[in-house]
Amino acid sequence: MSHEIKEKLVAYLSTCVTERRMALFERVLAGRTHYVRLVLDGVHNTGDACAVMRSCECFGVQRLDMVHASAFRPTRGIAVGASKWIDLQVSRQRGAAYFDTLKQQGYRVACYRGDGDPSVPTLADIPLDRPVALVLAGEAGLSSAAETACDVTVRLPTVGFTRTFNLSVNAALCLAALTGRLREAGLPWALDDAARLDLALHWLAKMPKRIVYLTERFMETHGLDEATLGAMVSEDTARLLFGRKGRAGDPHAP
């Protein structure tokens, strides 16, 4: 029943945006993935984090997590609106609990190492038989929780005297390599139907200027109340649909 209602709501809200916008949504949704997930460990520089967010959006990586980080608010000029389209999670869990949850969700934790050690596998070498959570550290290096949770250490191959890249370049190069391999391998990397529907609804809830009014009309037509519809969608989507206070897109914890 929940899936059917959400399908009807997506169809209803899609009539409030242009056909061109809906076609763009469908194209971008087709390229989105949860199979690769990026984790920033102890990154406090807002500019760096925003640049990484932009790379995630460009390469279709829907989930960016920040752990061991202070409160974060995207800078529009650097992120170029990417925060509107990806799922940013600033974890309230302690490090060990966060990584335990990540592994329970089936992710292989791959920690990036930038010292150029040739004995460390490159991104081309790590297996993709299950989803990968790529961990990039801030200036202080990987946290003890990340080190403990790490399943495999990876690097980018370099041949110069300078063996390291800055954080945002690291993220872009790593995501390009991983998502490229993923798409070539023919693995089930795309979002499943349920995840695509939820994401489409969340995006559509951001578009119409009269979203609260439209939501009320939809509920009236289908005999729903706010509690019933709210239970069918994520907390962030509910905030948008019902005009609740709070900034959607600022969820916490995985």
Average pLDDT, the chain: 88
Looking at residues 187-212, what average pLDDT do you find? Answer: 93
Task: Kindly give the residue spans of alpha helices, DSSP state H, lying in 41-115.
Answer: 46-59, 76-79, 95-104
Task: For residues 196 and 151, give the distance between their C-alpha atoms in angstroms, rounded to a whole number.
Answer: 29
pTM of the model: 0.88
CB atoms inside a 10 Å sphere around CB 10: 19
Contact predicate 252/25, CB 8 Å: no
The residue type of 4 is E
Residues 129-140 have pLDDT tens digits of 999 999 999 888
pLDDT of residue 207: 81
Q: Give me the domains of the chain, ranges plus CATH numbers.
A: 2-28+191-242 (no CATH), 33-185 (3.40.1280.10)
pLDDT of residue 19: 93
pLDDT of residue 72: 64
pLDDT of residue 47: 87
